[in-house]
Amino acid sequence: AYQNVATNLKDFQGKKNVLIMFFPAAFTQGCTTEFTEAGKMFDQFQALNIELIGVSRDQLASQNKFKEAVGAKNNFVSDMELEIAGKYDAISPARLAKRYYFLVDKTGKIIWKSSTGQLIPTEKLLADLGQMLKSGN
């Protein structure tokens, strides 16, 4: 699965910023809220030239069902072996992905992150990222 994200990130290099959203599990309360809101505000992320990628240990099939159920419009990557989460130090003691966010700019550099494990309301997330990108990063 790691190849997957590496390829995805390279696809966007020079074109788009990428927000990698690690999340514990599809269909859990926080994640459902998060990706429902992100789906509703997808155009606002697009307007900031941000591509969203959700990453969890769920199998792709269940991520696809989740995507459909919550009306998410972003891509999801299945990280069953926690290879990607490991690279971002985002593995919880329960062996799930922690709720971490990383904004990777067009050059492939991480320019913003939230590693508190707390859910960030989508409106706040958009405001913070918008400001971050405006400040010329």
**Which residues are catalytic, by number?**
31
Q: How many CA atoms lie within 13 A of 63 on its CB side?
A: 19
* Chain centroid offset of residue 54 CA: 4
Q: What is the DSSP letter of 117?
A: -
Answer left, alpha or beta for residue 27, where phi above 0 means left and psi between -120 and 50 means alpha: left
Distance between CA atoms of residues 125 and 35, nearest Å:
12
Instruction: With beta carbons less than 8 A apart as the criterion, state whether 11 and 18 touch.
Output: no
Q: Which neighbouring-strand residues pair with 91?
A: 97
AA letter at 116: T
